[in-house]
Amino acid sequence: MKIPVMEVFGPTIQGEGMVIGQKTMFVRTAGCDYSCSWCDSKFTWDGTGRSVSKQPIDIIEELKSIGGEAFSHVTISGGNPALHKGIGELVDLCHENGWKVGVETQGSIWQDWMPKIDDITISPKPPSSGMVTDFEKLDGFLQKLNDSNASLKVVIFDEEDFKYAEDVHLRYPGVPFFLQTGNSDTATTDDAHLTATLLERYEWLIGQSIRSAIMNDAKVLPQLHALVWGNKRGV
């Protein structure tokens, strides 16, 4: 079953969340059921980017031709990869090649291939995104991932987002929990200014987390790739 692919790139490092620093290839799918105000990958859903529908076996060949032998991990992101049934086949083929697979998704759509993922990040969206979380849906989602290597990651822009993150963490105390600095200028090419701003926001987020008894077990992370490469695409 074909998958609409926006870009395939790497090897790079996973810049976010539960396997931050892991060398990985990326497959970025097209389309999203959300439209977050601050989405750093709007080109996957706002009509400005172009996707190509590809068979899973052809994506495998592309990964090999771009990455050679210098990788053992593939991250599938988007857009929302959960829109695409065909990813199950892609995951099986990655595993047959001995590669581990990570997925980034917001937890709004379930697919039966999800429990097969080696590291799956569920990133429910805080109020600043303009999206509203269906918590009953998210309950079922995380229940089905009970035996999987899953984590929650919430992007934070302000105090209201932080409060939302506390609620999420309290609701799912057994799920590894990550706080991530929000990038509010996803267009700038002034890397020095962006880095300074992001580090300032990271320090602010660390402060919030230090003061919160609810966040005693949370990990606070920046988007490492944004600190290293700014808003550049394909890294």
Ligand X SMILES: Nc1nc2[nH]cc(C(=O)O)c2c(=O)[nH]1
Annotated binding site for substrate: 13-15, 28, 77
Q: Does 78 bind ligand SAM (CB under 6 A)?
A: yes
SS3 37: coil
The answer to whether 222 touches 198, Cβ cutoff 8 Å, is yes
Structure-token pair, residue 44: 């996957």
Q: Does 15 bind ligand X (CB under 6 A)?
A: yes
Task: Please list every residue from 199 through 228 that binds ligand X, using CB under 6 A.
Answer: 225
SS3 152: strand
Which one-letter amino acid corresponds to residue 62?
A: E
Window of 76-84, 141-149, 174-182, 227-235 that interacts with ligand SF4 by CB under 6 A = 76-84
Binder of ligand X out of 104, 119, 161, 166 (CB under 6 A): 104
Q: Does 106 bind ligand SF4 (CB under 6 A)?
A: yes
Sheet holding 52-54, edge to edge: 52-54, 3-13, 23-29, 73-77, 100-105, 119-122, 150-156, 177-181, 219-221
Window of 7-15, 50-58, 137-145, 176-184 that interacts with ligand SAM by CB under 6 A = 176-184
- CA 105 vs CA 43, 120, 154, 216, 222: distances in Å: 16, 8, 11, 25, 18
Binder of ligand X out of 14, 29, 51, 180 (CB under 6 A): 14
Q: Does 86 bind ligand SF4 (CB under 6 A)?
A: no
Site string for ligand SAM, 182-201 (x = CB under 6 A): xx--x---------------
